[in-house]
Amino acid sequence: MNWLLVLLGGAVGALLRYLTDRAVQARHDTVFPWGTFAVNVAGSMILGLLAGAGLAGAGSTDVQLLLGTGFCGALTTYSTFSYETLRLAETGAAFLAAVNVVASIVAGMGAVFIGLTFAQVIFG
């Protein structure tokens, strides 16, 4: 049963990542990977919320598998982030590559913190 929860969450997360990336990139006329940035930050916030719920005893193992492992695991993408950052650097946009690294880490960590804090307020 566990694998089915991960599979279902992953299917939804992967599709949402693709659709979100395409929608965000279509609205920005730049080489900066805004779509990947958006899904990674959003996924970090969701995972922070789930972790906070789990720490408060409000998140079941099934929810963690479905949303944390499956959905967030497929929604967020370290490999695409790495590839897009490398492509920026290789094509002469080294400054944007550095901005992508720093902004992704800062925004991702901030989003996890916000998610955890929000969970503490809700479930605390």
Round the CA-based radius of gyration of the chain to a whole number and report it.
16
The answer to whether the annotation marks 85 as part of a ligand binding site is no
pLDDT mean over 4-24: 98
- pLDDT tens digits, 23-43: 999 999 999 999 999 999 999
The answer to whether the annotation marks 80 as part of a ligand binding site is no
Q: Is the pLDDT of residue 98 over 90?
A: yes
- Residue 18 — very low, low, confident or very high, per pLDDT cuts 50/70/90? very high
The one-letter code for the residue type at 47 is L
Model-level pTM?
A: 0.94
Residue pair 121/52 in contact (Cβ under 8 Å)? The answer is no
Q: Is the pLDDT of residue 124 over 90?
A: no
Burial zone of 55 (CB within 10 Å; 0-12 exposed, 13-18 middle, 19+ buried):
middle
- pLDDT tens digits, 49-84: 999 999 999 989 999 999 999 999 999 999 999 999
Contacts of 114 by beta carbon, 8 Å cutoff, 6+ apart:
45, 48
What's the pLDDT score for residue 42? 98
pLDDT mean over 4-31: 97
What's the pLDDT score for residue 34? 97
